[in-house]
Amino acid sequence: MSDTIKYLLDEERLPKAWYNIVADLPRPPDPVLHPGTLQPVGPQDLEPLFPMALIQQEVSAERTIDIPEPIRAVYRQWRPTPLFRARRLERALDTPARIYYKYEGVSPAGSHKPNTAVAQAFYNKEAGVGRLTTETGAGQWGSALAFAGALFGLEVRVYMVRVSFDQKPYRKAMMEAWGAQCVASPSTETEAGRRILAEHPNSPGSLGIAISEAVEIAAQRADTKYSLGSVLNHVLLHQTVIGQEAIAQLEMAGDYPDIIVGCTGGGSNFAGIAFPFIGAGLRGGPRPRVIACEPSACPSLTRGKYAYDFGDTGHLTPLVKMHTLGSTFVPPGFHAGGLRYHGMAPLVSLLRHAGVVEAVSYPQLKCFEAAVTFARTEGIIVAPETSHAVRCAIDEALKAKDEGKERTILFNLSGHGHFDMAAYEKYLAAELIDYEYPAERVREALAHLPQVY
Ligand SMILES: Cc1ncc(COP(=O)(O)O)c(C=O)c1O
């Protein structure tokens, strides 16, 4: 049909395996280093924090890893997610480009995050773990892990970045409805939190700080492990169901993307949609342009350094090679809380460094403008994080119009913004401001990068 709006896959088309891009990389990723010795870590170093099944996935070079049936059974509640053709947006832009978006907002928590939350809860439960700690920026990840914890009978304690905690009180209520606890970070519960508060009593918090708090608590109790919502290889791996489904859905549409777009906080939804396509290209197939979109107030991929750095502000995590703005950098309190992270997934960073992935950055007002255009054409009110991808997709569609080129653009609609209406309200009242790139603070944070030779 020529006017199809949504491409749906039956439940049995849900992928049976995750795709691991490490198998197709031109070189192996750089090793993860121990924060004390600066030597490569072994599985036993990570065991206090993660169950062995996830550690094995973290270091795996196998191209595919089977998805256990109990995880697929939960995925089936909302997966495969729909792929939409944005026909009304295309008409409004008067573009010859075909725009498709994969809608991850249909999950119970409202974003792509349950794809890994469910997997992580399953493997922790299998390993006999009773309790998980984690960080959350926007609240999407904390909600996703709370949901997954409820399904697998795990206690969940979430450290939510202070500025988002204040901006979005109902995310906490949502986590509590699923039986989790949610604490504003920095908190007085941890050494890491108390240290930050002593220096900056009004700290807005950051993902780097919340990670330190969650890791510190997890390391104290044998029944507790830590769960990370982005950045790590196994998290990106779990998200690849998105891109695999999109490949099948675009096949139904008789199309293939020229451009793939995703927003990047820690890199997981971007990797989820892009890696299966990038992998096909690395194995000799077509190579679409792949664009990572980030906030100009926290631009790790476009302005950061590609270097070894800590994953957290309190320096409790191992060191990874990534694009970083410095682990002590606390981004300004813009509304895309899930993009306020100083670093970027090592696998996304490696592909950016190798020139396989492009990156762009946008200030928040331009993103909200795009989000409102999208809401008024496609109807979906996207999360502020996702609005960065919408901005890029619209810009690329307008470029195609200027150049008179038919192009196929695919973007990941990582989540809805139903808990972000205070931000939309401010934008519509012209009360939202853009933040300058905090060059001086980034310089200061980068001056303290660990010395790794
Ligand atoms: C809706 C949404 N999109 C994107 C992100 C960014 O995370 P990642 O880069 O890991 O996909 C978040 C993080 O909280 C989010 O909530």
Mind listing the pLDDT tens digit for each residue in 225-271?
A: 999 999 999 999 999 999 999 999 999 999 999 999 999 999 999 99
Give the residue, out of 107, 112, 340, with the most ligand 1 atoms within 8 A of its beta carbon, to mutate for a pocket test: 112
pLDDT of residue 120: 98
* Angle between helices 52-59 and 114-126 in degrees, nearest 10: 130
- Average pLDDT, stretch 188-199? 97
pLDDT digits (tens, 9 = 90+) for 274-312: 999 999 999 999 999 999 999 999 999 999 999 999 999
User: Is the Cβ atom of 383 under 6 angstroms away from ligand 1?
Assistant: yes
User: Is the Cβ atom of 386 under 6 angstroms away from ligand 1?
Assistant: yes
User: Is the Cβ atom of 140 under 6 angstroms away from ligand 1?
Assistant: yes
Is the per-residue pLDDT at 1 higher than 60?
Answer: no
**Spatial distance between the Cα atoms of 194 and 207, rounded to a whole number of angstroms:** 16
Give the residue, out of 140, 206, 416, with the most ligand 1 atoms within 8 A of its beta carbon, to mutate for a pocket test: 140
**Spatial distance between the Cα atoms of 263 and 385, rounded to a whole number of angstroms:** 7
- Average pLDDT, stretch 370-396? 98
Partners of 356 in beta bridges: none
pLDDT digits (tens, 9 = 90+) for 20-31: 999 999 899 999
pLDDT of residue 365: 97
Q: Pick the atom of ligand 1 nearest to 138's CA.
A: 14
Atom 7 (ligand 1) nearest CA: 265
pLDDT of residue 394: 99
Identify the band that residue 424 occupies on the pLDDT scale cut at 50, 70 and 90.
very high
Identify the band that residue 420 occupies on the pLDDT scale cut at 50, 70 and 90.
very high
pLDDT of residue 98: 98
Averaged pLDDT of the chain: 97
Query: What is the CB neighbour count within 10 angstroms for residue 275?
Result: 29
Ligand 1 mean position to 131 CA, how many Å? 23
Ligand 1 mean position to 37 CA, how many Å? 32
Cβ(309)–Cβ(322) below 8 Å: yes
* Angle between helices 207-220 and 191-199 in degrees, nearest 10: 150
Q: Pick the atom of ligand 1 nearest to 110's CA.
A: 1
pLDDT of residue 246: 99
Ligand 1 mean position to 1 CA, how many Å? 33
**Spatial distance between the Cα atoms of 401 and 381, rounded to a whole number of angstroms:** 25
Over the range 30-68, which residues count as b (16 or more CB within 10 Å of their CB) and which as e? bebbebeeeeebeeebbeebbbebbbebbbbeeebbebe
pTM: 0.97
Q: Pick the atom of ligand 1 nearest to 416's CA.
A: 1
Q: Report the sign of the C-alpha dihedral through residues 388, 389, 392, 393, in that order.
A: negative
User: Is the Cβ atom of 415 under 6 angstroms away from ligand 1?
Assistant: yes
Is the per-residue pLDDT at 89 higher than 60?
Answer: yes
Give the residue, out of 263, 298, 341, with the most ligand 1 atoms within 8 A of its beta carbon, to mutate for a pocket test: 263
pLDDT digits (tens, 9 = 90+) for 127-162: 999 999 999 998 999 999 999 999 999 999 999 999
Percent of the chain with pLDDT over 70: 100
Query: Picking from 59-63, 170-174, 333-337, 380-384, which range would have the lowest pLDDT averaged per residue?
Result: 333-337
**Spatial distance between the Cα atoms of 139 and 177, rounded to a whole number of angstroms:** 14
Q: How far is CA 267 from CA 120, 214, 328, 348, 408, in A?
A: 17, 20, 19, 6, 22
Atom 10 (ligand 1) nearest CA: 268
Q: Residue 218 has which token pair?
A: 């997890």
Identify the band that residue 436 occupies on the pLDDT scale cut at 50, 70 and 90.
confident
Atom 16 (ligand 1) nearest CA: 140
User: Is the Cβ atom of 142 under 6 angstroms away from ligand 1?
Assistant: no
Ligand 1 mean position to 270 CA, how many Å? 9
User: Is the Cβ atom of 385 under 6 angstroms away from ligand 1?
Assistant: yes
Give the residue, out of 81, 101, 103, 113, with the most ligand 1 atoms within 8 A of its beta carbon, to mutate for a pocket test: 113
Identify the band that residue 453 occupies on the pLDDT scale cut at 50, 70 and 90.
confident
Percent of the chain with pLDDT over 90: 96
Identify the band that residue 47 occupies on the pLDDT scale cut at 50, 70 and 90.
very high
Ligand 1 mean position to 112 CA, how many Å? 8
**Spatial distance between the Cα atoms of 409 and 401, rounded to a whole number of angstroms:** 13
**Spatial distance between the Cα atoms of 179 and 332, rounded to a whole number of angstroms:** 31
pLDDT of residue 262: 98
CA gyration radius, the chain: 20
pLDDT of residue 2: 73
**Spatial distance between the Cα atoms of 208 and 298, rounded to a whole number of angstroms:** 13
Ligand 1 mean position to 107 CA, how many Å? 14
**Spatial distance between the Cα atoms of 359 and 290, rounded to a whole number of angstroms:** 8
pLDDT of residue 419: 95
Helix (H, G, I), strand (E, B) or coil at 3: coil
Q: Pick the atom of ligand 1 nearest to 265's CA.
A: 9
Ligand 1 mean position to 225 CA, how many Å? 22
Atom 13 (ligand 1) nearest CA: 338
Ligand 1 mean position to 52 CA, how many Å? 25
User: Is the Cβ atom of 163 under 6 angstroms away from ligand 1?
Assistant: no
pLDDT of residue 146: 98
pLDDT digits (tens, 9 = 90+) for 339-361: 999 999 999 999 999 999 999 99
